[in-house]
Amino acid sequence: MASHIVGYPRMGPKRELKFALESFWDKKSSAEDLKKVAADLRSSIWKQMSGAGIKYIPSNTFSYYDQVLDTTSMLGAVPPRYNWTGGEIGYDTYFSMARGNASVPAMEMTKWFDTNYHFIVPELGPDVKFSYASHKAVDEFKEAKALGVDTVPVLIGPVSYLLLSKPAKGVERTFSLLSLLPKIIPIYKEVISELKAAGASWIQFDEPTLVLDLDSQQLQAFTAAYADLESTLSGLNVLIETYFADLTPEAYKTLIGLKGVTAYGLDLVRGTQTTDLVKKDFPKGKYLFAGVVDGRNIWANDLASSLSTLQALEAVVGKDKLVVSTSCSLLHTAVDLVNETKLDDEIKSWLAFAAQKVVEVNALAKALAGQKDEAFFSSNAAAQASRKSSPRVTNAAVQKAADALKGSDHRRATNVSARLDAQQKKLNLPILPTTTIGSFPQTVELRRVRREFKANKISEDDYVKAIKEEIKKVVNLQEELDIDVLVHGEPEASILQRNDMVEYFGEQLSGFAFTVNGWVQSYGSRCVKPPIIYGDVSRPKAMTVFWSSTAQSMTKRPMKGMLTGPVTILNWSFVRNDQPRFETCYQIALAIKDEVEDLEKAGINVIQIDEAALREGLPLRKSEHAFYLKWAVHSFRITNCGVKDTTQIHTHMCYSNFNDIIHSIIDMDADVITIENSRSDEKLLSVFREGVKYGAGIGPGVYDIHSPRIPSTEEIADRINKMLAVLETNILWVNPDCGLKTRKYEEVKPALNNMVAAAKQLRTKLASAK
């Protein structure tokens, strides 16, 4: 019985690629240095899978940024602003598209389906001249072959690539991206022909958009694309891989009807109903790559249950046509549990990271073939039983409090207009008030103190003193820049090496566990270390009150209390899979509610509760949207339903398409929302142009913080003017797209200075117009 892995983490067990990329970007190392690190990582991954007994090992899943940008490079679809003149696309053009450069902004970045991974959105139109401009897929296949490893090269399928794209600036929004299919298919044919010539026997096309709600025209595009590719694919075994959700009956029918296709990869973890479609109708002689090992979470597979599922499928598709696989790429999990030396043994026995999932896949394949490892299965069964019966998982008081939430929608008593009036009387802010989103850059000094504190070389008093000094620097800088509503910069998260505030909060909540090296790629070199929610959640003590109060004591200006919202904590964690997600979210909401009320008691008048990942968690099926949005929005309202009218509640969202959930965002009933806008070509503003009325405060981001580029005062003023064309002056805020922790102070200071100057310039202009 054969085994297959859809894809594998590329950062390395200790983020080797991250450090190599950042060193290269900072001009501290050469392109050759970067290439060597990448080649060593690829070699290690291929050899690991080969050694574990995996038959179908993927290649071309490694990327310096993301696989969609790699496909854009393969197709030569470089926007004109990057001045690419043809030939093989090099690092300069590639990274300019991803990150921008001194003269032009980056391409839009958005979430990869409903994950916390991101991709660079292709910008296409009728005038794009496609050409075969990156031979990466062929080069990596040959590289693996030279190491003695026969791989399955992986390409983003042509239809999914187009459906994930957007019309370029200046192209009509109604332009049919699928009309470009005849222009890109010839390049796919070139790549396929080269792979065949290099000795490939299998090829994998990732077509994840098949799990979306597609109309008949979109489904027909798949049929047309693979019919066109059929003759070129002759002689190859062709796998179409789908993941993240069920297929609709219409999509499943389209999939199994594709010409020239040998095998179908299905997510049987999140796509539970797809199994029924397979049992009803599976084409004779075709392969089923059954994704029974979860690629999205870190819980050990229930091997007995998966084996039962596989045995039932084997009776349908045939013993020699069933391949055991992961549900999706293991990119979304941590790399290797062996690197976790601080997790206690009980919790560790419940987990499986990418390396362990590879072993699980092979163990299931061998069991199906009659070579069951009884000891391995027995150990797995014991771990499953331990997790179900462990007293650390359940807290009766938390469950009772969560149950008591039923029957109320937890809205604040006064409408937002009246609240904003009360808040303005207390805060006395100018029009177009300026603020930032929360974090400020980590410094060399902070990292030094962190290392010394972790090594017990300095005392806790010295550690606290260092954080206070950093907060004071951040407060002084914001006052010098004349920012209106300040933040404390979140150094308490940075100094503890918390990759983001989700992990910082999680560490202070019960029911969470933490890893040392459980890093997961978010985009480019950016990695996060998601906490693990293994049990019922509560807040044993205040988490941020001391630091927020300390920061507020350093200034007379309003200081934001900074919290992460319950939906974002949920969506950016590895979540327990033994109860519905909404139940866990309500527990987190109650914990954050306690913190919000303690901040208010401590004199913090502006409290930001970030829900950056609310849109990210939206199910891929429209039929499931309403239920998710109901409990997600309700969870946010629970956190702040008890505060005074004069306490201003902010929230923040970033890097997703929000237009389709704008009414749910309004229903959150926050006083102010800051939201990503600049990198997505101000897509957000279109919803207001189309007549949506928004009465709360809103700060669409005026510049992209994920690029090192520094915007001019004039550029920012132009963005604000576009906002003023569709939003009332008295509700508009001026702020960056997101937090500043990924940037350097030499970038942050001039960018914020220009932002404040633009706001003041427009205040003067508006005052003179009265």
Question: CA of 697: how far to CAs of 130, 431, 762, in Å?
Answer: 43, 11, 18
Kindly provide the residue ranges of all beta strands, DSSP E only, lying in 481-600, ordered along the sequence: 510-513, 520-523, 526-528, 532-538, 560-564
Q: What angle do CA 392, 397, 402 make, to 5 degrees?
A: 105
Question: CA of 182: how far to CAs of 76, 177, 359, 627, 661, in Å?
Answer: 15, 11, 41, 39, 34
Question: Cβ neighbours of residue 325 under 8 Å, at least 6 residues apart?
Answer: 3, 4, 5, 6, 56, 265, 289, 290, 291, 292, 293, 361
445 is in an annotated binding site: no
Q: Quick one: tokens of 177?
A: 């991206």
526 is in an annotated binding site: yes
667 is in an annotated binding site: yes
604 is in an annotated binding site: no
- Whole-angstrom Cα distance, residue 306 to residue 291? 10
490 is in an annotated binding site: yes
Which DSSP string corresponds to 69-80?
HHHHHHTT---G
Question: Cβ neighbours of residue 534 under 8 Å, at least 6 residues apart?
Answer: 347, 350, 387, 392, 393, 511, 512, 513, 576
172 is in an annotated binding site: no
676 is in an annotated binding site: yes
* Ramachandran class of 173: left when φ > 0, alpha when ψ lies in -120 to 50, beta otherwise: alpha
Catalytic, out of 118, 488, 650, 706: 706
641 is in an annotated binding site: no
439 is in an annotated binding site: yes
112 is in an annotated binding site: no
136 is in an annotated binding site: no
Mark 225-236 as b/e (b = at least 16 C-beta within 10 Å).
bbebbeebbeeb
Tokens 């009036």 sit on residue: 421
CA torsion 94→98→99→100, rounded to 10°?
70
What is the 8-class DSSP label of residue 6? S
753 is in an annotated binding site: no
- Whole-angstrom Cα distance, residue 531 to residue 584? 14
652 is in an annotated binding site: yes
Tokens 């929302």 sit on residue: 673
Which DSSP string corresponds to 677-696?
-TTTTTTTHHHHHTT----S
616 is in an annotated binding site: no
- Write out the H or E segment, with its range, that includes residue 203: strand 202-206
- Whole-angstrom Cα distance, residue 680 to residue 701? 10
Can 706 be counted among the known catalytic residues? yes
- Whole-angstrom Cα distance, residue 131 to residue 137? 15
Supply the residues annotated as catalytic.
706
Binding residues: 18, 116, 437-439, 490, 526-527, 572, 610, 652, 654, 663, 667, 676, 738
Binding residues for L-homocysteine: 610
Binding residues for 5-methyltetrahydropteroyltri-L-glutamate: 18, 116, 526-527, 572
